């Protein structure tokens, strides 16, 4: 033990000796059985959340019918095709990991295809390079975010994994925080958003936040107040905004109201009184609008920024209303 440590550091300390460096390199390059996650190896998935996803993924991969294996392969290829910068351990700076993301996506895709039977419109509107996706938000849990996420990986060309911006309290939830990071979510601080956009990636944001997500059933398809942060970031980084309208999510989990005292007690932003135990199998229609470009000073006062935000909000509302008019049934 001690000997191997000494030789390791000897290699480390002769920083200008070529042989030492080479030895260190060789050691580093030696195959590590745990390093590469292959299909059925679950040793590296330690957190129960990941294990659950991994277990399901593993079962799917070994026992599943050909169709599912094909789907898994398709998702794998789509992730590989997407422009992501991963380090030698397979992680990006924010903790994204392709294997965990693939397993999460696989499960989400099953919901996407067979439960919510998502239809997308105008996904060819996604431009290349950095991108802000702005959508309405509803349905008590953020299924709309995951469905948009699946759509942009499976249906967009080239695939565009989107980064979700989470509430500040999400990283405090055990297990979930790890899963969220591995699947591509980050804490929604302006700095994170800025850096991800500068990386040339696509960021999804819901300017309504919990105001939209946890609103009651009677307020469905009524856009709530938009936050201004996304517009300042778009102006600062010169990022095109793609407005998105999700039709269907607003009926998936009818809420009678918000039980505020309990929410406060649990430290949650809201505690909706939901009428159904699980989200209803509504059909999702996701409309991607044409990219909107804005120019101006990102430090302008709220009044000026607000006018630009209103343009986005109006565009989303147009998409929503036309989507609602075209829809013949909530479920089919």
Residues forming the site for another protein (CB under 8 A): 1, 4-5, 8-9, 11-13, 15, 24-25, 27-29, 34, 44, 46-48, 87-89, 91, 93-95, 168-169, 171-178, 181, 186-187, 189, 191-192, 195
| Cβ 11 to another protein shortest distance, Å | 8
| Cβ 196 to another protein shortest distance, Å | 9
Q: How many residues does the chain have?
A: 332
Cβ distance to another protein smaller for residue 15 or 325: 15
Cβ distance to another protein smaller for residue 56 or 173: 173
Cβ distance to another protein smaller for residue 94 or 121: 94
122, two tokens: 């105008």
| Cβ 230 to another protein shortest distance, Å | 16
Cβ distance to another protein smaller for residue 25 or 307: 25
Cβ distance to another protein smaller for residue 9 or 297: 9
| Cβ 47 to another protein shortest distance, Å | 6
Secondary structure of the chain in the HEC alphabet? CHHHHHHHHHHHHCCCCHHHHHHHHHHHHCCCCCCCCCCCCCCCCCCHHHHHHHHHHHHHHHHCCHHHHHHHHHHHHHHHHCCCCCCCCCECCCCCEHHHHHHHHHHHHHHHHHHCCCEEECHHHCCCCCEEEEECCCCCCCHHHHHHHHHHHHCCCCCCCEEEEECCCHHHCCCHHHHHHHCCCEECCHHHHHHHHHCCCEEEECCCCHHHHCCCHHHCCCCCCCCCHHHHHHHHHCCCEEEEEEECHHHCCCEEEECHHHHHHHCCCCCEEECCCCCCCCCCEEEECCCECCCCCCCCCHHHHHHHHHHHHHHHHHHHHHHHHHCCCCCC
| Cβ 32 to another protein shortest distance, Å | 8
| Cβ 10 to another protein shortest distance, Å | 9
| Cβ 25 to another protein shortest distance, Å | 8
Chain mean position to CA 138:
16
Cβ distance to another protein smaller for residue 158 or 190: 190
* Distance separating alpha carbons of residues 28 and 88, to the nearest angstrom: 11
Cβ distance to another protein smaller for residue 186 or 282: 186
Cβ distance to another protein smaller for residue 173 or 330: 173
| Cβ 171 to another protein shortest distance, Å | 4
């Amino acid at each position: 033990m001690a000997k191997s440590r000494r030789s390791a550091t000897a290699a480390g300390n002769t920083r200008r000796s070529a042989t030492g460096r080479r030895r260190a390199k060789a050691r580093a390059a030696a195959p590590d059985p745990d390093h590469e996650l292959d299909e059925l190896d679950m040793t590296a998935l330690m957190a129960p959340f990941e294990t659950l996803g991994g277990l399901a993924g593993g079962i799917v991969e070994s026992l599943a019918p050909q169709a599912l294996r094909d789907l898994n392969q398709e998702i794998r290829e789509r992730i590989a095709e997407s422009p992501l910068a991963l380090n030698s351990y397979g992680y990006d700076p924010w903790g994204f990991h392709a294997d965990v993301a693939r397993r999460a996506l696989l499960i989400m895709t099953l919901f996407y295809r067979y439960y919510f039977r998502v239809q997308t419109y105008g996904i060819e509107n996604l431009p290349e390079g950095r991108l802000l996706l702005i959508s309405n938000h509803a349905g008590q849990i953020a299924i709309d975010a995951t469905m948009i996420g699946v759509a942009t990986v499976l249906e967009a060309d080239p695939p565009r994994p989107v980064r979700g911006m989470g509430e500040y309290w999400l990283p405090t939830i055990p297990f979930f925080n790890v899963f969220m990071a591995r699947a591509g979510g980050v804490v929604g601080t302006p700095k994170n958003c800025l850096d991800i956009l500068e990386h040339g990636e696509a960021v999804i944001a819901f300017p309504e936040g919990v105001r939209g997500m946890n609103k009651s059933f009677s307020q469905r398809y009524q856009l709530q107040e938009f936050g201004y942060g996304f517009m300042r970031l778009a102006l600062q980084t010169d990022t095109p905004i793609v407005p998105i309208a999700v039709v269907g999510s607003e009926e998936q989990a009818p809420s009678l109201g918000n039980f505020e005292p309990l929410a406060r007690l649990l430290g949650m932003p809201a505690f909706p009184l939901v009428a159904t135990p699980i989200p209803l199998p509504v059909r999702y229609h996701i409309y991607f609008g044409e990219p909107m470009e804005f120019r101006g000073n990102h430090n302008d006062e709220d009044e000026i920024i607000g006018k630009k935000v209103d343009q986005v909000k109006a565009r989303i509302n147009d998409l929503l209303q036309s989507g609602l008019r075209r829809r013949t049934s909530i479920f089919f």
